[in-house]
Every structure is written in C-alpha cells, then in structure tokens.
Structure 1
Amino acid sequence: MADKFQRLSFLKKTRCVMISTMMITVVGYTVIERLKNKLDIPSVNKVTYGFGNASEKLKALPGPDIVFAICKGIPDPPTGKVWPEENFRYIPEVVNLDELPHAATSMLVNNGSHTVKVGDTVTFTVVLCDRQGKRRQRGGDLVRVWLTEPAVGAAVNARVLDNGDGSYTAATTVFWVGRPEIKAAIISPREVIAAVLNRRHICPPVLVNTAIFQHPVDKSIKEETPCNAYPHVTGYDVICNLTEDNFGWHWYCGKPRHDQLQCVDWTAVADRNLWSLGTDINFQSDNRKALCSLDHSSQVLLASIRITVTSDSNISHVIATPPCSRSILSHTWKMDSPTGHLYKNTWFSKNCRPWITKHEIRECLRNTNIALIGDSTLRQMFYSIRTLISCKWGSDTFANGGKHRTTSCNDITTNTSLAWIPHGLPFCTGELPRQYLKTFKASVNILRKTDQRNIIVFHIYAHTLNYHSRVFYSILKDLASVIRRIIADNDNTFVVLKGPHAFSFAKSKDHVIWMPDVYASIYTNFINDEFDDIKDRVMFLEALDMTIATEQWHIHSEKNIILQHVLQILEHVC
C-alpha cells in the first residue's frame, strides 16, 4: 500500500506530455522542408534497432522505438546571437567527393625565412586543393597548424586565420632553439562540418541517451525508452518530464508502453550508439556516409616544413619570468593562441613559469578538499592527483564500483581529500543507476561543508557534442550561476573551469558524426562570453592549445597531458 501511495504521489508532480509527430513519408524516405533547408532525412517509422555492442544487460531489453524527424523544442538563441549550426544550414551537399580538400595536393607555404631567432613570430599559409589539385575558392574548413620537435619534447600550436578563399594564415612564436617541423592538418572540410551540424537538427541524436524503467515489485517488467534534452522524443506521443528527477536539468524520455510501468519507475540510464549499431548509418545517403567517415577528416598534409631556430645568446628556451603563483586569474582568460608551449615534456604558460615540486604539492594541499566535477577527463585528473599525494581510497575503486560513479580518497597525514563526481545527463554510459549522475548544483550541495580550503574543478564538453549546441549553452548558464554562488559565499574556495580540448586524430569510425572537433572553439567562445564578469575570480584551464600541439587522438588525453593540466592548476593555487 505504501509503495502504491508513493507511486501515485510521484505521478502528481511528474508530467506526462502529449506530443504529436508529423512526418511525410515518400517511398521509404522522409523529406521535411526539403526546399527550405536542403536536408533529406532518411526515415524508418518505429524501427527497433539491433543490439550490436550493447551490454549483456541491455541485450535482454526490447530496444526503444527509433523514429527520425526534425527536432522540435530547440529554443531561439540569445538576443543578437545565432546558433552555430545555422551558419552551416544551407551549404549544399557536395555531389563529387573529389572536390573535397586533399592532404596530398594541399600546400603549406613558409611566409618568411627558414632560419629564425628564438622568440620570433613565424607565419605560414595553408592552401587547400581538391584531389585533382584544383584550389578551393571558399573558406569554412577547420584547419590546424603546429610546430613540433619530439627529440626535445617540444611543441606549440599556431593561431589560424581563415582568409575566406581556400587559404589559411597561421602564426606562432618559436620558443626553443632547434629544428622544429611545421605541420598542418585538415581536421574537417566545411562540407563535413555542414553534414555533422545539420545532423543536430534531427532527433534522436546519433548517440541516444535512454531511460530504463523497472517495476518496483515485479522486477521482470522492464522497458527502455529514448530521451532528449528538450521536450521532443520522436516516436512517442506521450513523454515523461523527468527534469525534477534530473536535479533541474531539462530531461524528457518516452513514456513506457507497458501498462504497468509509469514515469515514476525510472531507475537507470544507458545509451545506444545508432551509428555503430547501423540504424543511423544505414539510412544516410552514400555521400553523407562518406563525409562522416574518417576518410575526409583529420588529414595531415603530406607537405611539411622544417625551420632552423638559433639564438644570439646562451638562451635556448624562452620562458616567462614570474611564477604562476603570482599570476592574476583574469590572465588565464586573456591569452591568445599560442597560450603556451611544451618543452622537455613540460608545459610552459605564456604568462608565467612552472615551479612546483611534488613535496611542495603535498604541503600546499594540506587541509584541502579537492572536488573534480565533470566527465571522464576529470576522472583522469583524479588518477593524476592521486599519484602526487598519499591518497587511500575512501570509496570503492573504479575497478570494483564502476567507472561512472562518485569516487573519493583521503590523505590522513595532510588532511587532504580528493573526489571525482560525474556530471548530470546527458551522459554517455552503459546501464547505470540514475542517481549517480547529478547536476553541478546538486554535486556542490553534497560536498563536505568545512572551514578548510576547497579547490573545485568543473568541466562539461564531450557528452554534449552529440546534441545541438543549445544543450551545452543551457548547461553552461546553469554552471555559471553555480560558480557565482560559490565565489560569493566562499572566500576559501578556488574555482577552476576546464575548457574544451582537441582529439583531432581520433581513430573510431563514429568520431566525426558523434563528437565533432569543430565545437571546441565554438564552445570556448560561449564560455568566454558567459563568464566575462567573474574572470578575476575563476581560473580558466585552456586545454585546446596543448592538445592540438601534441596531436592528441583520443577523447582521453595522454597521461602526461593530464599531468600538465593538473600542474597548471596547482601552480596557480599554491
């Protein structure tokens, strides 16, 4: 009886929203506003996709119905702004793939001397050509340029300017004496970017988050339905508004079709990769499938340049003078690329020099609570920091308790605590109890209240790449309000916001369609605008330059890159 009462009381506060979905089906293809936006949407009405690489638990569940349609419910952008997806909305789909830029025919040109002095600015021009060697006449491609010399563990990113005519000008500073190689890459042609960003107007997303509903008494009654960050779940006329249960972040899922399951029975989250399962890729045009493959993205130009860097004095490496501990936090936001460089596998910021040792780190973190709230890149930070202090597990290890749950450890000698807390939905994961994922506000509220110093690092990025940029923007605004409250109420709290990073050379086949690298600079601009009034109170951990210069290929950067991020934070804290 008590169970029934609880279920009824929940239903009073959990809205079921009626949704009508209008689709036009023409001989197996859905064409919606074809003349308006030139976007053909292959369709299958209520297709239940196969389970491919789904977990054993999920294989036992009937798959959710998947129906492709134009997304509804995407709000208008802020006044005076345009969603970045709109900038690519009307680019015609390429007919001849040979017209795409090609690494073998494109050129890298040195605009100056092949011998320069350490500390000089050098410039280069990238000229993109198609497979036949014909020069491209328009801009809009994502091009990156960097200098690297692995023999001395050195690398630096270059600032790239789109000239709008198929050429790109790159400029950087040479910080070390040696023989660095200048490399350039076509990360994504504009046609690929257009195909990928236009996919963000179609629901469900490529990697669809799902809700698992289970009857509280009869555990055999279980159903999985697709979810969305705005109130539109294609294929479901009735949806569950689970925003309140998602700790305030907008979240909507298809209402279970089983007559004994209600919205209240939401117990777990999961995801389904429609690209790797074949549901999405099988209903794309051949050209669009080719555009979203790895064949046309992340191509390093065959042409590269070596320059000789000399010095008139005994200075072989240019570094900033003041230690980072004296750096003003607002300076971490104002650095133009390159924001720093790698030398002997250590990151040197453009504005300050590294100085801290492992012994000084332990002393600095005495009587300190550290909370890392975000995705698995901050879980990497957890591991990295744990190697710097004598930290004993205060919870199950990731191996025992699962990799997507709050984890902590403590150093009783120095009274230092360290915790990683995963952020809320959307979050890509195998089947996971829903309460493990919390919004930034809910996560901050569960932190231990003490008079000790607190270091809180926030990050949101990879798990939103699958969605329209409105989702990232909405979560970012919520995060900004949380951080404003923290710095207003806590003088003893040091707040860090980690920015987007690059994983340009990913090797997974679904990388381009699921996690396009083009959003990195777009979201960095969002962050800069949203935090403009509190940049003197929050450290911005710029991660893009380091991960571009070191040619990171995985969403999880190499261990030394994560360590350098950690040291950047600690050098400002200590």
Structure 2
Amino acid sequence: MANEPEMGVPEVHSGKESMVILEPYAGLLTEVNALQCSPCTSMDGVSDATRSTVDLKYDKRVINVGDMIPLMITTRDYAGNFKRVGGDFLKIFLCNDHMRSAIRGRVIDHGNGTYTAEVEAAWSGKSEVIVTLSYPREAITAMYRTRKEMVSLEYIYAGFQNGNMSEETICHPYLSAFEKGLNYSEVCNLTYENSGMPWYCGKPRNIYLLCEDWYYSHVSQGLLIPLTEVERELLNRGPVNFTQSVKVFVQSDESGGNTFQASIRPCGNGNSRLSWSPPQPTGFVYNGEWRSRLCRCTLS
C-alpha cells in the first residue's frame, strides 16, 4: 500500500496492488468452476422448485426435542429430468407458522443433483420442513461471470477542472482494476479525499490537468450488464420455496421439556472467545422470540 498522501495533494500511482477475492458461495460453487460454464439461455436445465423433492432420509419413528432430522433433497429441472450436477444454493428450515417458530438447518451439496440436509428439532409439536431455492446454479455462475467481465456494475467518474480545461475519468477502490481493463497508465490516489477509504481515479490525459485539480464526482447510469434473458429472470425472481415439504411431529424430551434448553449463563457473562466459533445455527425463533443457543438471551 502506498503511504498516505499529504493533505490536499493526491498521489499519482502506476504500481500494482492485490485485489480482495470474495467467495460469497464458498462450499457451493467455486469461481473457477463457475467461469467454465456457458451463459444460460434456456430454463430446461435449471432446477425447478415445483418438481424437486425433499424427503426424510430414513423413517424415524420417534423424533424428540434436540434430535437432528435428516433429509434428502433431489433436484429436477424444468424439463422434468433429474439434475446431474450440484451448485444450487439451497436453504432448509423447520417452521411452525402458528407458533411463529423457525430454525435453519444445514445443507450439503454432493455435486450430482442430490443434497443431504439436517435440521434440529428445537421444539415439540407439529412442524414443517421447508426447502428454499435461493439461487440456482445458473444464477450463481452468472454472478461470477459478471464480476469477472465487468470491473464494476456502475462507474463513478471524477471530474478534473483547471480554468477552462476539464476532463472526467473513471474511479475504483482497487488499483488492480486499472490493470484489468480501465485503460489508464497512471491513476490519482484520492484516498485522503475519500475519508481514508481506498479510492483511485484515472489520471487525466490532458497534460495540463493534475490530480489536485479534482473537482467533483458522479455515478453513471444504465450500464449494460452482460446477462442472458434467462439469467436476468433467475436473478430478479428471488428465492423460491419447494412445492413439496415434509410434515414432522416432535415429542417432548425425557425431562418433559418442549423446547431446546440453552445455557443458563447470561449472555453478558463468560468468555467472549466462545462466540468466535459458535455452533450453527446460533439460535432460533420460538413463539416470536429469538433464543440463543449460546447463553440465556431472548429478543422479541
């Protein structure tokens, strides 16, 4: 990183800087694999929440409070065929709308169109297991490809002015973006002017305009995002619940308790290190109240 510039004198840079790599779908579909996929132009091969199924992994005659409920998820596409690849972003919940209760479970992708899942029976009584297709594989690959092909989803321009001379250049928080395709050999470091947060703008090509001639900034409108019509539809529609769900009945535990019992330790006491690697999920909603699994705390 470059040294902080003196006040009012933006620096000129032409060096390299590493870019932070984000993996929002870590464990589902890596960017390397996603970028090998072709753009999706047909819904036929996309997972269909109305045809995909969720079932108990095996018939468990008795489910008690605190037990893990194992499930198997099988995806089918819009053509009615079994999916042979994974990568869909699925979520699973145990819910009881009447009790205003819900807890999220865990989903494991086997890479062949099937997924195993488990969710804790956190309370007794009748409940329903619901699967949500947050994003199909094809939408996730479109997100990765868009991020790869486009330096930014919207451009912010800096305006430089000195007398009757003016010029606008493109800005970005990463120096590496200018090497990636913004076509500027030199950039102005406007980090100081951006309250200390990294911010770089192309150096004006007019030799009579300097970095300190920065005068204003504005956001561009209407950038063309390289998506197919199918990908645009998948990204715009949002999460979709499976048509099928699983009804379960949970018995009270041996002590007669009808809900998961968290630690009696108040949340304000104890070792904060325990919160660094908490169990998942960290809690659940029961009768409209948040119940922590770590300590005694409820939030309405």
TM-score (norm 1): 0.43
Q: Are 1:317 and 2:265 an aligned pair? A: no
Equivalent position to 2:38, from 64, 68, 92:
92
Q: Residue by residue, what CA displacement relative to the aligned partner does 1:327-386 show, whole Å, maximum 9, x if unpaired?
A: 32122122232221111222212121117xxxxxxxxxxxxxxxxxxxxxxxxxxxxxxx
- Change in 2 beyond 3 A, CA 1:16/1:163: closer
Instruction: Name the CA distance, whole Å, in 2 between partners of 1:184 and 1:240.
Output: 49
The offset of 1:9, in angstroms, is 8.9
Task: Give the AA of the match of 1:309.
Answer: V
SS of match in other structure, 2:125: coil
1:253 matched to which residue of 2?
Answer: 201
Task: Give the AA of the match of 2:202.
Answer: G
The share of aligned pairs that are identical, in percent, is 26
2:74 matched to which residue of 1?
Answer: 127
Equivalent position to 1:340, from 274, 283, 294:
283
Equivalent position to 1:15, from 3, 12, 16:
12
> Contact (CA 8 Å) 2:191, 2:198: kept in 1 or not?
yes
Gaps of 5+ in 2: 1-5, 22-28
Instruction: Name the CA distance, whole Å, in 1 between partners of 2:95 and 2:34.
Output: 32
Task: Give the AA of the match of 1:97.
Answer: M
The offset of 1:100, in angstroms, is 0.6
Instruction: Name the CA distance, whole Å, in 2 between partners of 1:265 and 1:173.
Output: 61
Q: Residue by residue, what CA displacement relative to the aligned partner does 1:259-298 show, whole Å, maximum 9, x if unpaired?
A: 875422445555446xxx2x314x544454445x324x52
> Contact (CA 8 Å) 1:215, 1:260: kept in 2 or not?
no
Q: Which structure has the higher relative contact order (CA within 8 Å, separation 6+)?
A: 2
Instruction: Name the CA distance, whole Å, in 2 between partners of 1:9 and 1:172.
Output: 55
Equivalent position to 1:189, from 127, 136, 139:
136
The offset of 1:169, in angstroms, is 1.1
Q: Are 1:230 and 2:227 an aligned pair? A: no
- Change in 2 beyond 3 A, CA 1:265/1:177: farther
The offset of 1:254, in angstroms, is 2.8
Task: Give the AA of the match of 1:252.
Answer: Y
Q: Are 1:107 and 2:107 an aligned pair? A: no
> Contact (CA 8 Å) 2:7, 2:192: kept in 1 or not?
no
> Contact (CA 8 Å) 1:211, 1:266: kept in 2 or not?
no
Q: Residue by residue, what CA displacement relative to the aligned partner does 1:512-536 show, whole Å, maximum 9, x if unpaired?
A: xxxxxxxxxxxxxxxxxxxxxxxxx
Instruction: Name the CA distance, whole Å, in 1 between partners of 2:186 and 2:54.
Output: 55
The offset of 1:237, in angstroms, is 5.3
Instruction: Name the CA distance, whole Å, in 1 between partners of 2:145 and 2:217.
Output: 26
The offset of 1:303, in angstroms, is 0.8
Q: Are 1:264 and 2:212 an aligned pair? A: yes
> Contact (CA 8 Å) 1:119, 1:173: kept in 2 or not?
yes
Task: Give the AA of the match of 1:15.
Answer: V
Task: Give the AA of the match of 2:289.
Answer: T
Written as runs of structure 1 = structure 2, the 5 A alignment for 1:50-65 is: none
1:49 matched to which residue of 2?
Answer: none
> Contact (CA 8 Å) 2:267, 2:295: kept in 1 or not?
yes
The offset of 1:236, in angstroms, is 4.6
Q: Are 1:306 and 2:247 an aligned pair? A: yes
Instruction: Name the CA distance, whole Å, in 1 between partners of 2:290 and 2:111.
Output: 33
1 or 2, which has the higher strand percentage? 2
Equivalent position to 1:349, from 284, 292, 299:
292
SS of match in other structure, 2:278: coil
Instruction: Name the CA distance, whole Å, in 1 between partners of 2:261 and 2:217.
Output: 48
Instruction: Name the CA distance, whole Å, in 1 between partners of 2:260 and 2:231.
Output: 46
2:121 matched to which residue of 1?
Answer: 174
TM-score (norm 2): 0.78
Q: Are 1:241 and 2:228 an aligned pair? A: no
Task: Give the AA of the match of 1:340.
Answer: G
Q: Residue by residue, what CA displacement relative to the aligned partner does 1:209-261 show, whole Å, maximum 9, x if unpaired?
A: x2443659x7x988654322222342555532324444554422234577875
Q: Are 1:136 and 2:70 an aligned pair? A: no
SS of match in other structure, 1:341: strand
The offset of 1:88, in angstroms, is 2.1
Q: CA RMSD in A?
A: 3.5
Task: Give the AA of the match of 1:161.
Answer: I
SS of match in other structure, 1:15: strand
> Contact (CA 8 Å) 1:239, 1:253: kept in 2 or not?
yes
> Contact (CA 8 Å) 2:83, 2:112: kept in 1 or not?
yes
Instruction: Name the CA distance, whole Å, in 2 between partners of 1:172 and 1:259.
Output: 64
What is the aligned residue count?
Answer: 281
Written as runs of structure 1 = structure 2, the 5 A alignment for 1:462-473 is: none
Task: Give the AA of the match of 1:205.
Answer: S
Instruction: Name the CA distance, whole Å, in 1 between partners of 2:81 and 2:7.
Output: 67
Written as runs of structure 1 = structure 2, the 5 A alignment for 1:101-500 is: 101-111=47-57, 112-113=59-60, 116-208=63-155, 210-213=156-159, 215=161, 225-231=169-175, 232-233=177-178, 234=182, 236=184, 238-246=186-194, 249-256=197-204, 262-266=210-214, 270-272=218-220, 277=222, 279-281=223-225, 284-291=227-234, 293-295=235-237, 297-311=238-252, 312-320=254-262, 321-354=264-297
> Contact (CA 8 Å) 1:173, 1:338: kept in 2 or not?
no
Instruction: Name the CA distance, whole Å, in 1 between partners of 2:161 and 2:7.
Output: 16
- Change in 2 beyond 3 A, CA 1:119/1:286: closer
